[in-house]
Amino acid sequence: MSLTQTAATDSPAIGTPTEHVVGRLDEIPMGEGRTYVVAGVQVAVFRLRDGSLHATQAACPHAGGPLADGQTDVDVLVCPLHLYAYRWSDGGSSGGAGPLRLFPVREQDGDLLVTA
């Protein structure tokens, strides 16, 4: 059994990326993340305490950990399984895992919009 087999479901769907409404901003508590399925891909969306939004692949590239269960600050997302820290800026990690796939995300009238 390999937990990284989930990687297939994190690949973007074939075709041009489009913007999707995935949910409401107030579904995500400050500083936390929640996972949505966007165009057949699972995407973790994070709402930081500085108000910024970030979206990444949902499973950790290292061992498939649920990234939406991780801890955040303004620079990084820390996976709950082995504490790899991924930068929001480029998806890379100082420990060498990754990079994470990042998705554009924004808020409009309380809706969360993810491009995938």
H-helix or E-strand spanning residue 87: strand 85-87
Binds other proteins (CB under 8 A): choice among 28, 55, 100, 113: 28
Pick between residue 34 and residue 101 the one whose CB is nearest to other proteins: 34
Pick between residue 72 and residue 113 the one whose CB is nearest to other proteins: 72
- Applying CB under 8 A, the span of 14-22, 70-78, 103-111 interacting with other proteins comes to 70-78
Q: 65 near 47, Cβ under 8 Å?
A: no
97 to 116: interface string for other proteins, x by CB under 8 A: --------------------
85-87 and 102-103 beta bridge pairing: unpaired
The neighbouring-strand residues paired with 111 are: 24, 108
From the CB of 101, what's the least distance to other proteins, in Å?
14
Would you call 45 helix, strand, or coil by DSSP? strand
